[in-house]
Structure 1
């Protein structure tokens, strides 16, 4: 998506920006919903309490994220040396602290939400300087991303997967993806996009990987901590769905975005003019 944005595809109508912003909001809903359901499944308290507990996690995550986001907007101050490195270190350090602290205090769903809100508000305050911080964090992501996906792959034993479980998981994914595509198309019908842009936005929502890799094994780990065999089987089913979602939707979705983007999205006029100028310059040389 960033490559399409850099190439000028769909930028005039804000398609890449819309998808990335909506994706962040979707991650918030997914993490919150997952932790709410996880608490209801493993808790011995009342269902009403667990539902309100999920809402409380959202409030705590947003409030803490706003507080930390406004804090790192102004600290360290802009006149300090190595400002970009200090900001990048604070974002990474506070994000890790938020995730581990939320688990320690019994509100695991608030940690991920806190990091999203914090980084969003910090970026608003840093304006043009945030690109330099983003490059440093991107390097850290390149280092730790293989570990994230490697851990979930190591948890899944292909030999132990039951055919009926795999078939049911694939069918569930297929139904969910179909509903997701149709719902996305309906939601953008009144947003001022043409039919090609609507089709692209619908299929751009297909790939799912990062959140699934991050929370896929949580249910299994929680079940193991309870020491119940039946709960461990349910946790393995959740992990299998996450594993198959990454394995199936991520490569297909990335391929569709790369192929459909240049064909369905309109390229910005200034981008075309820049390419024409570069072409004329190369011919003259």
Structure 2
């Protein structure tokens, strides 16, 4: 495994430098390297590492969300309240409905399989969106109207909404009975995650104020507490609690209570993101099955593109009544396109459960990553200076 770890890090660093010179988002290079190193092509990565890749991706997701929380001010969140709530479920709902319309027509799948596919595809990628929104907040682009904060807040709940629908649709497919309890648990999961996160952040901030520790030790404590919060959600599947939201809320409260210390902690998390980004996207690329992708043909791509178009309508409707102009709304549409993390995590679940459309769902999860992650990353990186105001 050590050989594989070294291979991933060194190849990732080389690709990052190359992408920087070519002025393209490095995640594109990471995904392509992952495909090359993975089982589908060269197969040089240790299978043991691939077996724990989901755990590694979850750790990186925790780092991403903590960075987001350490950059969000509660005042900014209050300013973007209503549209952030709408963005947390309206675009995903529109995309799921779009898949449910087009997938049966073009791919011949059942309506139930289309609903499962839509829930897999419906989640936006925090791995693509969060680092870029943090950069915009730091560089003060669109911050007076709270645009990066709006995208951060909405996208964090968007994932939980899509995951709960995915679980409910899977339950219906397996048992023939829709699990209404799972759906009704959504607001409870959000509320409990936010409250427990805020409480944990408040208590931790008081601890850091009384006991002076080096920033690195504070980071280790914060990471450990974050792991515990996410593990609670994983260990108690029936508990209406979002560990992901709790982690983000914890970081938001730290920023509110101890801003100076939170800034130092944030700098170390920025450092952790450097290897984290490399591992996340190379391992996502390594999970790609090229044979599935090529055998699927062009129709799955059409479904993905049609559904994205409908998603953009939902995103635009969520912004009606705000003070955003057409350029700023266009930027939000672009920022809400990319897929990666959730699709990589759950795309293979239907296949493992023996669903008839499992192979197709996995293939389309991979295609969605390959199409939308570069599209969203490119779109955000090359449009924000033209579409957002410089508030510095």
- TM-score band (shorter)? 0.7 to 0.9
1:125 is aligned to 2:229: no
1:169 is aligned to 2:169: no
Give the match's secondary structure for 1:27: helix
* Pair 1:90–1:134, CA change in 2 (3 A): same
Which structure has the larger Rg over C-alpha atoms? 1
Deviation of residue 247 (structure 1)? 1.1
1:156 is aligned to 2:279: no
CA distance in 2 between counterparts of 1:236 and 1:116 reads 33
Deviation of residue 158 (structure 1)? 0.9
Equivalent residue, structure 2, for 1:279: none
1:257 is aligned to 2:380: yes
Equivalent residue, structure 1, for 2:389: 266
* Pair 1:194–1:167, CA change in 2 (3 A): same
- Tell me if the contact between 1:72 and 1:87 (Cα under 8 Å) persists in the aligned partners: no
Q: Which has the higher contact order (CA 8 A, sep 6+)?
A: 2
1:26 is aligned to 2:155: no
Moved more, 14-23 or 44-53: 44-53
1:206 is aligned to 2:337: yes
* Pair 1:234–1:90, CA change in 2 (3 A): farther
CA distance in 1 between counterparts of 2:249 and 2:225 reads 12
- Tell me if the contact between 1:189 and 1:198 (Cα under 8 Å) persists in the aligned partners: no
Equivalent residue, structure 2, for 1:65: 197
Q: 1:55-84: per-residue Cα shift (whole Å, max 9, x none)? A: 6544553454344233322223355131x2
State TM-score, norm by structure 2. Answer: 0.57
CA RMSD of aligned residues (A): 3.1
CA distance in 2 between counterparts of 1:61 and 1:189 reads 28
Moved more, 169-178 or 55-64: 55-64
Equivalent residue, structure 2, for 1:135: 267
